[in-house]
């Protein structure tokens, strides 16, 4: 019997889904047969990027039976949103995949053991590479698994399996912010801490609805004792806009024009920090000349705003001595000109010196629980640890830490998600490995993915459920443990590392993604390359070394326990920081010294002329569709939140479309009526909600329903390659 066979025939312990091994066997280490003793474990929530800490209450057998929010944690301060309260429920869902599934000759997914699954995986993937070349295999990952797993997957695919193209669904939510920060600051570095919600005099939210999308962050805003002005720039009168001091319902994707116009007016009033600009930035002279084209008349014409609201906005931002913070999320990131829009907000903060002090910053609110971990350690757009694939010295450094041949490290990053799928369309890519994401539901212009599926020789889906739209199309399904069934760490929106703990056993023979990647490495024949990746705890030590000396340095953190005991730790926290203070600072902002991560330590002004909507409304399709989060009880494609009866009661379980009363009359439809919504790509049905929340000529649908992406238009930001989910032309008929 081979070493791999020995591993696969090891028994499963009574309270763990991990294979119980002989000490040191394959470097995986022995997994304890039981979970923690009765009491309380602490774990970071696995839904969104807020990074709330939950107390998981355990019975005498060490099984999770309930949870409460952690009152001592500096992020959520004892609060939780509906998803957090229901975080354990999806683990017990009846449709969990409990064993590998292989599609048989009749097209039916049938249970097989791990040995058979791994054999088929390697034979089929290697067969595709042998026939079409190594570039014919690609992988699509996620922002939902722990950082140790992301890094191991990135190393395994690129260094062990020769897979050049590995991207993640972070491309759908945070690629824009990643690129914007990298170009402007020299590194992907959100500068803020959540305390800034409570310390600002003026908070500007652009394309962000934290009341619904990030409720705990909104609670932090509500704790602000400075009587702040809240400005919301959003075409829809969202829950956040309703609570704001001022709502600017700018026409969809006119926000770039608006922000350039605000910059022009700040210049005219000399509401600048000249010393900061002179000492800490570059490119301001060209930017100053550029924005002169954005006179109030042009801004008001293109945005549809009133002069009074526009000027009041500038009055609030330009107030002498005011602490101003700018916040954005998907309404900015998911656009055909997203990177420059994010950088227009960064430019406003730069020209007014709003960095490094309480209540300031140009602050991107992240989407998924570990999108930041994916951005830094996914090995997709950046080499592990935020290094540059194209930099020979970086490749040498990373290779030395990992103990791999430098020649195995690619000299360029992965192609982006959309270009991977385009390569499936052209036949260049013939096999896909999809991990913890639901592409068939979530990808823009969804109908195209079904067509692409027919062009793949082999599709592997690794997930908690075999019922997702993507898993249902797979040739092979690998059963994965979910949040709460494994250990590791996430990085939240404010750069805080938080420990996620194992408090439950995955069903059947489902395994953590980390263990699956180790098994694949052994079966592929490159297991020796990953011997030092013996466990998530050991992988954490590797990632510390990769971070050392980088802006994201967390080499001063001992281990997962250190993270937990410290209430989470924001990077940077280097070995020097640990030696100097011993205790991490609870709230840490970047750029307090005005020094950025560019070679000359100066931030850059980036800007381009606004570009029209790729698909504006016309006579045939007269309405502009906006999409977004529909409820604080919903999450992404619903693969987990739909398992909770509680969460389903808190949000409608069928698609709806919001129409302004004027448009409802034109379309001859009434509230509660079922209608057909058509775009040039497809059609779906939805229930009408008649409301002035949306402007005339615009409609809104929640993104959580699979039908919505039948409609969306496949436009992409040229810098981040992030899809523009937020604007496409549709018609609504009875």
> pLDDT digit string (tens) for 7-36?
454 433 333 334 333 323 333 333 333 455
Residue 174 pLDDT greater than 70, yes or no: yes
Q: How far is CA 89 from CA 63, 84, 409, 643, 645, in A?
A: 13, 10, 41, 7, 9
pLDDT at 36: 57
Residue 28: predicted pLDDT: 33
Which is more confident, 293 or 30?
Answer: 293
Confidence band, pLDDT 50/70/90 cuts, at residue 638? confident
pLDDT at 35: 56
Parallel, antiparallel, or unpaired: how do β-strands 496-500 and 569-570 relate?
A: antiparallel
- Give the pLDDT of residue 5: 55
Q: Residue 444 above 60 pLDDT?
A: yes
Instruction: Assign 53 to helix, strand or coil.
Output: strand
pLDDT at 347 over 80: yes
Give the pLDDT of residue 511.
98
Residue 653 pLDDT grade (very low, low, confident, very high; cuts 50, 70, 90): confident
Residue 162 to residues 33, 139, 386, Cα–Cα distance (Å): 35, 11, 20
| Average pLDDT of every residue of the chain | 93
User: In sequence order, what DSSP letters do the residues of 556-590 get, joined into one string?
Assistant: T---HHHHHHTT-EESP--HHHHHHHSS--SS--S
H/E segment holding residue 549: none
Reported CATH class of domain 191-209+234-364:
alpha beta
pLDDT beyond 50 at 702: yes
**Exposed/middle/buried for residue 607 (C-beta within 10 Å: 0-12, 13-18, 19+):** middle
- DSSP 3-state assignment of 538? helix
Q: Tell me how far apart the alpha carbons of residues 146 and 513 are, in angstroms, rounded to a whole number.
A: 9
pLDDT at position 584, please?
85
Residue tagged 């998600």 (tokens):
417
Highest mean pLDDT among 233-237, 583-587, 645-649: 233-237
Q: Residue 262 corresponds to which tokens in the numbers above?
A: 């605000």
The average pLDDT across 298-314 equals 98
pLDDT at 14: 34
Mean pLDDT for the stretch of residues 455-474 = 96
Residue 518: enclosing H or E segment and its boundaries? helix 513-524
Residue 155 host element (H or E): helix 147-155
Q: Is the pLDDT of residue 237 over 50?
A: yes
Q: Mean pLDDT throughout 595-612?
A: 98
**Spans of all domains in the chain:** 101-172+370-499+509-526, 191-209+234-364, 623-733
Give the mean pLDDT of 317-336: 96
Per-residue CA distances from 553 to 156, 202, 385, 558 (Å): 23, 31, 9, 13
d(CA 316, CA 322): 8
C-beta separation of 557 from 544 below 8 A: yes
- CATH code linked to domain 101-172+370-499+509-526: 3.40.50.740
Q: Using one digit for the tens of pLDDT, what is the confidence trace for 368-390?
A: 999 999 999 999 999 999 999 99
What is the rounded distance in angstroms from the CA atom of residue 469 to the CA atom of residue 456?
A: 16
The residues, any chain, with a CB within 8 Å of residue 544's CB and separated by 6 or more, are 554, 555, 557
Contact in structure between 374 and 150 (CB atoms under 8 Å): yes
Q: What pLDDT score does 7 carry?
A: 47
Q: What pLDDT, on a 0 to 100 scale, did the predictor assign at position 4?
A: 53
Rounded-to-integer distance, Cα 400 and Cα 393, Å? 11
- Sign for the CA dihedral angle at 257, 258, 261, 262 comes to negative
Q: What is the DSSP letter of 291?
A: G
- The whole-angstrom separation of Cα 106 and Cα 393 is 52
Top-tier CATH class for 623-733: mainly beta
Q: What is the pLDDT of residues 82-139, one digit of tens each?
A: 999 999 999 999 999 999 999 999 999 999 999 999 999 999 999 999 999 999 999 9
* % of the chain with per-residue pLDDT over 70: 95
Per-residue model confidence (pLDDT) at position 719:
96
Per the DSSP assignment, residues forming a β-bridge with 569 are 497
For the cut 60, the answer to whether the pLDDT of residue 3 exceeds it is no
CB atoms within 10 A of CB 157: 25
The predicted pLDDT at position 31 comes to: 35
Cβ–Cβ under 8 Å, residues 511 and 494: no
Beta bridge partners, 387, equal: 383
Q: What is the distance between the alpha carbons of residues 305 and 46, in angstroms, rounded to a whole number?
A: 39
pLDDT exceeds 60 at position 267: yes
Q: What is the mean pLDDT of residues 191-205?
A: 98
Which residue reads 């940077």 in tokens?
Answer: 572
**What pTM was estimated for this model as a whole?**
0.94
Would you call 466 helix, strand, or coil by DSSP? coil
Summarize pLDDT for 519-567 with one digit per residue, the tens: 999 999 999 999 999 999 999 999 999 999 999 999 999 999 999 999 9
For residue 1, is pLDDT > 60? no
Mean pLDDT for the stretch of residues 57-83: 94
| CB proximity list for 436: less than 8 A, separation 6 or greater | 141, 142, 144, 145, 462, 463, 464, 480, 513
pLDDT value for 20 = 35
Flag whether pLDDT at 220 surpasses 90: yes
What are residue 53's phi and psi, to 5 degrees? -100, 135
Instruction: Answer whether 151's CB lies under 8 Å from 543's CB.
Output: yes
């Amino acid at each position: 019997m081979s070493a791999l066979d020995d591993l696969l025939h090891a028994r499963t312990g009574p309270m763990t889904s991990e294979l119980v091994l002989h000490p040191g066997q394959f470097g995986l280490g022995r997994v304890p047969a039981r979970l923690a003793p009765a009491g309380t474990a602490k774990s970071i929530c696995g839904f969104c990027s807020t990074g709330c800490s939950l107390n998981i209450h355990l019975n005498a057998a060490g099984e999770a039976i309930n949870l409460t929010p952690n009152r001592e944690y500096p992020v959520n301060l004892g609060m939780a949103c509906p998803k957090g309260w229901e975080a354990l429920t999806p683990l017990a869902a009846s449709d969990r995949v409990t064993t590998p599934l292989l599609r048989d000759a009749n097209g039916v997914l049938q249970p097989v053991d791990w040995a058979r699954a791994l054999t088929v995986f390697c034979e089929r993937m290697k067969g595709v590479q042998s026939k079409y070349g190594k570039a014919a295999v690609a992988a699509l990952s996620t922002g939902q698994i722990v950082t140790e797993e992301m890094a191991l997957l990135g190393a395994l695919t690129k260094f062990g399996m020769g897979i050049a193209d590995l991207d993640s669904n972070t491309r759908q939510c945070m690629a824009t912010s990643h690129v914007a920060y990298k170009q402007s600051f020299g590194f992907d570095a959100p500068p803020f801490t959540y305390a800034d919600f409570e310390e600002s005099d003026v908070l500007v939210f652009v394309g962000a609805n934290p009341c619904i999308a990030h409720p705990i962050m909104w609670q932090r805003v509500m704790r602000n004792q400075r009587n702040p002005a809240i400005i919301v720039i959003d075409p829809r009168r969202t829950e956040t806009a309703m609570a704001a001091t001022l709502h600017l319902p700018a026409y969809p994707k006119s926000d770039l024009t608006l922000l350039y116009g605000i910059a022009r007016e700040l210049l005219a009033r000399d509401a600048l920090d000249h010393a900061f600009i002179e000492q800490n930035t570059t490119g301001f002279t060209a930017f100053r000349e550029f924005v002169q084209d954005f006179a109030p008349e042009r801004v008001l014409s293109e945005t549809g705003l009133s002069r009074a609201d526009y000027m009041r906005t500038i009055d609030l931002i330009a107030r002498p001595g005011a602490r101003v913070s700018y916040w954005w999320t998907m309404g900015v990131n998911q656009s055909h000109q997203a990177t420059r829009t994010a950088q227009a907000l960064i430019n406003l903060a730069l020209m007014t010196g709003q960095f490094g002090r309480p209540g300031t910053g140009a602050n991107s609110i992240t989407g998924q629980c570990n999108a930041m971990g994916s951005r830094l350690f996914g090995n997709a757009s950046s080499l592990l640890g935020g290094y540059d694939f194209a930099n020979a010295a970086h490749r040498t450094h990373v290779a030395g830490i990992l103990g791999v041949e430098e020649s195995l490290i690619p000299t360029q990053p992965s192609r982006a998600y959309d270009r991977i799928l385009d390569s499936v369309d052209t036949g260049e890519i013939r096999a896909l490995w999809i991990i913890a994401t639901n592409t068939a539901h979530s990808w823009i212009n969804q109908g195209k993915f079904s067509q692409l599926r027919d062009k793949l020789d082999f599709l592997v889906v690794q997930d908690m459920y075999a019922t997702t739209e993507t898993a249902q199309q797979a040739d092979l399904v690998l059963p994965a443990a979910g949040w709460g069934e494994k250990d590791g760490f996430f990085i939240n929106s404010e750069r805080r590392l938080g420990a996620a703990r194992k408090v439950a056993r995955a069903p059947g023979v489902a395994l953590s993604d980390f263990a699956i990647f180790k098994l694949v490495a052994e079966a592929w024949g490159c297991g020796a390359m990953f011997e030092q990746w013996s466990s998530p705890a050991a992988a954490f030590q590797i990632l510390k070394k990769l971070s050392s000396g980088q802006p994201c340095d967390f080499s001063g953190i001992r281990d997962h326990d250190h993270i937990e005991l410290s209430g989470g730790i924001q990077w940077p926290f280097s070995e020097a920081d640990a030696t100097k203070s011993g205790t991490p600072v609870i709230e840490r902002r970047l750029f307090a010294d005005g020094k950025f991560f560019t070679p000359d330590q100066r931030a850059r002004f980036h800007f381009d002329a606004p570009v029209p909507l790729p698909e504006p409304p016309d006579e045939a399709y007269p309405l502009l569709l906006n999409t977004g989060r529909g409820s604080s009880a919903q999450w992404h494609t619903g693969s987990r939140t739909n398992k909770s009866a509680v969460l389903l009661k808190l949000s409608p379980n069928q698609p709806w479309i919001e129409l302004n009363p004027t448009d409802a009359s034109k379309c001859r439809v009434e509230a509660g009526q079922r209608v057909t919504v058509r775009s040039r790509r497809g059609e779906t049905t939805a229930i009408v909600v008649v409301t002035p929340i949306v402007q005339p000529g615009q409609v809104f649908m929640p993104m959580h329903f699979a039908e919505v992406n039948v409609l969306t238009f496949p436009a992409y930001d040229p810098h981040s390659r992030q899809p523009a989910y937020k604007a496409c032309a549709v018609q609504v008929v009875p």
